[in-house]
Amino acid sequence: MSKKHDDNREANLAKALVLSEALPYMRRFNGRTVVVKFGGNAMGDQQLFDLFARDMVLLRQVGIRPIVVHGGGPQIGSMLEKLQIKSEFIDGLRVTDQATIDIVEMVLSGSINKQIVAAINNAGGTAIGLSGKDGNLIRAERLKRTKRDPNSNIERVIDLGLVGQPSVISTVVLDAFEKSDVIPVIAPIGTGPDGETLNINADTAAGAIAAATRASRMYMLTDVEGVLDKNKELISELKVSEALAAIESGVISGGMIPKIETCIEAIQGGVDGAAIIDGRVAHTVLVELFTEGGAGTLITRG
């Protein structure tokens, strides 16, 4: 028997072992909903992009119902720059006027959404692209932010323009896909109180949709490994109480705080668990969902 044959045999046995170990998790999550926020480097790397699409198809094939909510900040920024439309950020949120929201909607609901849909379809799945405006999926209120002047101690309201936060999630459209093989791909655009189009943070939209659908898991693909402890080691799991304590102590800081807060809100809304996982790693959703060790930081009740 040749060495090459031996190597192939070992590789095939390793693959079979992985599938066998994944079986209990496949049974556990069969028929359940998983919401995945897709963004960051995974969207910009074609190989990771295509692997993500295949992974979503695999989830649906084994009986899990994935819902994809995507961002697109860099692509929006690039298009605004091309059109010479100035853009300003306050606390990480894009100040959005009418000219900007037109571009945001065009990029999110148009090119990005359809690229993800096409990739999933090309991988053998059946994906449908939606925005939060379709079927009144995401009704939103204008997001208000306040800032305190350090000198006068006076608090003032910051006008972010056409930026929203979900107020009501209508799952009627999503329910229609529940018994089919369709994978919904959702752009985080919502409808405001007066029918206006509002730009919604993709993390926030994913959390609200996960809570409304009573998802078993919400996964947020990021450009970091997960939550790190004070020694910069990955924390594989945190209860809600532990996550809040880590924020209070400063272990969780900066841009990770709103992500963790979104995970906590999703769990308080009925999601069983929410995880921050590294979108720069191939098959990261599968590793987190189907293996004992996981792939990032899982937040659970307690």
Q: Which tens digit of pLDDT belongs to each residue from 185-241?
A: 999 999 999 999 999 999 999 999 999 999 999 999 998 889 998 888 999 999 999
* Helix%, strand%, coil% for the chain, nearest 5: 45, 25, 30
Structure tokens at 297: 């930081």
What confidence tens digit (pLDDT) does each residue in 97-123 have?
899 999 999 999 999 999 999 999 999
Give me 247's structure tokens: 């924020």
CATH classification (class only), 31-300? alpha beta
Predicted confidence band at 42 (pLDDT cuts at 50, 70, 90)? confident
Average pLDDT along the chain: 89
Q: At what angle do helices 256-268 and 240-249 cross, to 10 degrees?
A: 150
What residue spans define the domains of the chain? 31-300
pTM to 2 decimal places: 0.90
**DSSP string computed for 64-83:** -EEEEEE--HHHHHHHHHHT
Residue 11 belongs to what H/E stretch? helix 3-29
Rounded to 5 degrees, φ, ψ at 100 are: -70, -40
